[in-house]
Amino acid sequence: MNTRVKSSIRYTAALLAVLLPLQAAAVEFVFVGSRQMGMGGAGVATTTDSLATYWNPAGMAMSKKFDMRIQGGGQVIDRGDVFDTIKDINNLNLNNTSAGNIARLQQQIDRMNKPGTNLTAAASGGFYVKGNFGEHALGFNVSDVATSGGFLRGPVGFTNNGTNLTVNGQFAMNGLEVRQAALSYAYAFMDRMFSIGITGKVIQGAAYTGATNIRGASDDVKVFEDIGRAKISSALGIDVGAMFRPSSWLRMGIVAKDINAPTFDAPNGDKFKLLPQVRTGIAVNPYNSLTLTADVDVTKNNTLTPGVHSQVLSLGAEQTILSELLSFRLGAFKNMQDAKTPFIPTAGFGIRVLALRIDIAGGYDFRDQAALASGSIAVTF
């Protein structure tokens, strides 16, 4: 093994040693991009287009192609069927104090008070571009990555005065929009065996906190209206990443996001802090048209739902045919911090017409009422 290879391996080991101990909690890692969502949320080792400005800036230098795209997507996990239960409570006739109606109300309240009843949601959208200049790569994005969490402020109950029933309880929600302009730089060396990258972000944080009474929240729109107006504040963010390709069929990547822990003001006087989150990935190509990949969160990340943590394992596969004219993707992901949560399946499809690429992806899990959807349009050459 020559001196340059040994030096690169030592550098990689040193970088990992710095990044891996960062076990502080952070907002969950959002799946940005249709290709990545279709592969179960795996993208740290596979993303070399302009979305590398989000996933892993080092990936930009592993491909010499120019890429420009727009994308949008979102996901929601409704644990305990929160919204339907709220609607069912409000559809009951609370002027009916019969034993049967009280029993129906108690059944819905018991559903609402079941441990683990909460929801988390995330969405992203933006414009992304990257280009290469020899071994150097530059990228830029203007994007919005939003996360939110909903939960009960306390147990839901009811009172009966003999003529009507009164439901007591509130459903609270926290939200944070990370509106950012990001500039990324990457450099590849040793014939693109190894690359490193950094992203600097100017972030406008829009933080939301609020609550709605269970009684009267008869539709989703009413729930979100009661959250109130956002508190706006600004901060800078820094992401760093590395990618290692020891052979043509194997790639490994690692990214540390928000290593400087940008902090934003919340309307209730609290602080929403994006503490460092670390994610690593591996991609294997048994043959040129097949990619098998896996990502995992090294950090255990907080969410905006109190008591809910996120540490996601993502598994995925992509099969391309006819020189990438068509791409078929399958994947699944699981929150390892929630033993009761199953692997949630995803799938995606892509088509290329000359330099134009169109991708879609989605996923659904009936148990946790989890739904995901994403779409993107790109020009790549």
pLDDT score of 2 more than 60: no
pLDDT above 90: percentage of residues in the chain: 67
pLDDT given for residue 222 in this prediction? 53
pLDDT given for residue 117 in this prediction? 85
CATH entry, 12-80+116-151+167-380, from 3.60.15.10, 2.40.160.60, 3.30.70.580, 1.10.15.40: 2.40.160.60
CA distance 274 to 76: 20
The encoded tokens of residue 34 equal 């249709």
**What are the pLDDT digits (tens) for 143-170?**
999 999 989 988 999 999 988 999 998 8
CA distance 332 to 124: 19
Question: What's the whole-number average pLDDT of the chain?
Answer: 88
User: Residue 183, exposed/middle/buried by CB under 10 A (0-12, 13-18, 19+)?
Assistant: middle
Report how far Cα 155 is from the mean position of its chain's Cα atoms. 29
How long, in residues, is the chain? 381
Confidence of residue 218 (pLDDT cuts 50, 70, 90): low
Beta strands in the chain, from DSSP E residues, in sequence order: 67-79, 118-133, 136-152, 157-160, 165-168, 170-189, 194-213, 231-247, 250-257, 263-265, 271-273, 277-287, 290-297, 301-302, 309-310, 312-321, 326-335, 344-353, 356-365, 370-380
pLDDT score of 11 more than 80: no
CA angle at 147 for the pair 294 and 76, rounded to the nearest 5°: 70
Lowest mean pLDDT among 10-19, 76-85, 319-328: 10-19
**What are the pLDDT digits (tens) for 313-357?**
999 999 999 989 999 999 999 999 987 788 999 999 999 999 999
Domain ranges, ordered by start, for the chain? 12-80+116-151+167-380
- Specify which of 155-159, 183-187, 224-228 reaches the highest per-range mean pLDDT: 183-187
pLDDT given for residue 327 in this prediction? 98
Confidence of residue 128 (pLDDT cuts 50, 70, 90): very high
Q: Which residue has the tokens 């409570």?
A: 89
Task: Please count the other Cβ atoms lying within 10 Å of the Cβ belonging to residue 8.
Answer: 19
Q: What is the pTM of this model?
A: 0.87
Higher pLDDT, 89 or 35: 35
